[in-house]
Amino acid sequence: MRISDCGLKDERRDRLALPFNPRSAIRNPQSQRMSQLALQHYLIVGAILFALGLIGFMTRRNLIVMFLSTELMFQGVSVNLIAFAHYHGNLYGQAFVIFVLVIAAAEASLALALVVLLFRTKNTLDADAWRELKG
């Protein structure tokens, strides 16, 4: 017997330790599952974000707007991943979204450094200026 047990049964000890037991959602996915209608709302919002980002990326030639449009597409996909993970009652989607956000932050710093470099050499933020750069 461990000192932390204090002679309590497992269920009572778990109830006293935390107001919400995170393992209960994994054991019983029905307890925290969202409805089909709520899932559809999140998927619609994610699809709208992705579509707006895609339209912005395809129609604009400004590098900063194109960069922000790709970030908007990332966020649309992230909303969908979190919605599916919550619907299925696990945390895998949220963990993957945190990983994607870290990668997106690294990509953002690199992309903005390249945009600043291009602006200093060409004095424009037009995407067609990239075609003239040769290594």
* Tens-place pLDDT, residues 21-47: 555 555 545 545 678 888 999 999 999
CATH code at position 102: 1.10.287.3510
Residue 98 clears pLDDT 90, i.e. is over it: yes
> What are the tokens at 117?
């470099």
Q: List pLDDT tens digits, range 48-80.
A: 999 999 999 999 989 999 999 999 999 999 999
Say which residues have a Cβ less than 8 Å from residue 26's Cβ, sequence separation at least 6.
89, 90
Report the distance separating Cα 44 and Cα 50, nearest Å. Answer: 10
Q: Are 99 and 93 in contact (CB under 8 A)?
A: no
- Domain membership of residue 57 as a residue range: 35-132
Q: Is residue 41 a part of any domain in this protein?
A: yes
Total domains in the chain come to 1
Taking the complete model, does pTM exceed 0.85, yes or no? no
Residue, of 5 and 35, whose pLDDT is higher: 35
Q: What is the pLDDT, as a whole number, of residue 95?
A: 92
Report the distance separating Cα 98 and Cα 121, nearest Å. Answer: 35
Q: What is the pLDDT, as a whole number, of residue 91?
A: 87
